[in-house]
């Protein structure tokens, strides 16, 4: 087993992989747990630190930290049928192959395969957990269509919390837009949260589209992406100033 390094100049391996833009810290931990990360030829473990001159490899691929590393932030309009994963071998309909961006990027969070709309892609691993952690209360806005007419009980329950996945969802903003359509703004990110909330109330989601994450709105055609504007990035960083990270 590899010895833990304690140098003050050393960087935790998951942070190192996020800083070079290889993946998020969460994804790095999964790769480490699966034994796919080595330091100087030895399989590493969570918490091990990387020092200057160490050779880091993921699945046999050498990872080099570039001094000229530039952060990339993309707003992508994900079509139905595309999966938000970087594992190109397991899932052929993945977001990375669909976009074909010339540099390595990864999605922040997920939209399930039947859903569409806004998702961020980046090579900045440090921003991921700040955006994703529910306790940071960052808003995500969706437009949802269901299979039958919406009533007052449905709107009240969706707004005031629904029992799913052994917990009660947080209070949220819900507004009816049509006979079978509504807008919802949530700050949580439970697995298939909105679909499960609807199902628990006897409704089935016909379509689900994310139209906003925090200050960034969906404004590109389906299947297209754009870079964050300078103004958007400044405001995003302001909103994230007091956000906590996992590490």
Is residue 137 scored above 50 in pLDDT? yes
Mean pLDDT of 17-23: 79
- Coil vs helix vs strand at 92: coil
Per-residue pLDDT tens digits for 202-243: 999 999 999 999 999 999 999 999 999 999 999 998 888 876
Q: Give the pLDDT confidence score for residue 136 in this predicted structure.
A: 61
> What is the pairing mode between strands 61-63 and 225-227?
unpaired
Per-residue pLDDT tens digits for 108-128: 888 999 999 999 999 887 787
Q: Is 112 a catalytic residue?
A: yes
**Cα dihedral value 222, 70, 137, 238, nearest 10:** -110
User: Residue 166: CB partners within 8 Å, gap ≥ 6?
Assistant: none
Number of Cβ atoms within 10 Å of the Cβ of 241 = 7
- What domains are defined for the chain? 11-63 (3.10.290.10), 73-133+216-240 (3.30.70.580), 139-213 (3.30.70.1560)
What is the rounded distance in angstroms from the CA atom of residue 236 to the CA atom of residue 28? 24
Name the average pLDDT for the chain. 88
Q: Give the pLDDT confidence score for residue 69 in this predicted structure.
A: 65
Q: Give the pLDDT confidence score for residue 160 in this predicted structure.
A: 97
Is residue 91 scored above 80 in pLDDT? no
Is residue 1 scored above 90 in pLDDT? no
183: closest CA among 138, 140, 143?
A: 143
- Cβ-contact 120, 108 below 8 angstroms: yes
Per-residue pLDDT tens digits for 33-71: 999 999 998 999 998 998 888 889 998 888 876 655 688
What is the rounded distance in angstroms from the CA atom of residue 120 to the CA atom of residue 141? 14
Question: Beta partners for 42?
Answer: 39
Q: Spell 47-59 as b/e; 16+ CB within 10 A means b.
A: ebbbeeebebebe
- Coil vs helix vs strand at 34: coil
- Spot the catalytic one: 54, 87, 112, 166: 112
Of 55-69, 71-85, 131-145, 155-169, give the lowest mean pLDDT range.
Answer: 55-69
What is the rounded distance in angstroms from the CA atom of residue 216 to the CA atom of residue 90? 30
């Amino acid at each position: 087993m590899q010895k833990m390094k304690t140098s003050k100049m050393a960087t935790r391996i998951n942070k190192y992989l996020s800083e070079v833009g290889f993946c998020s810290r969460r994804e790095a931990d999964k790769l480490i747990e699966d034994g796919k990360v080595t330091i100087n030829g030895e399989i590493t473990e969570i918490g091990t630190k990387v020092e200057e001159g160490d050779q880091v490899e993921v699945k046999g691929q050498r990872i080099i930290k570039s001094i000229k590393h530039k952060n990339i932030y993309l707003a992508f309009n994900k079509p139905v049928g595309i999966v938000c994963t970087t594992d190109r071998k397991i899932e052929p309909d993945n977001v990375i192959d669909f976009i074909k961006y010339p540099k390595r990027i990864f999605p922040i969070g997920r939209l399930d395969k039947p859903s569409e709309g806004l998702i961020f892609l980046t090579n900045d691993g440090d921003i991921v957990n700040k955006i994703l952690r529910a306790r940071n209360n960052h808003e995500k806005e969706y437009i949802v269509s269901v299979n039958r007419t919406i009533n007052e009980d449905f709107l009240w329950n969706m707004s005031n919390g629904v029992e799913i996945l052994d917990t009660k969802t947080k209070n949220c903003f819900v507004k009816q837009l049509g006979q079978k359509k509504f807008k919802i703004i949530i700050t949580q990110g439970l697995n298939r949260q909105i679909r499960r909330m609807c199902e628990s109330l006897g409704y089935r989601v016909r379509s689900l589209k994310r139209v906003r994450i925090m200050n960034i709105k969906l404004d590109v055609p389906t299947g297209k992406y754009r870079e964050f504007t300078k103004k958007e990035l400044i405001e995003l960083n302001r909103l994230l100033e007091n956000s906590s990270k996992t590490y």
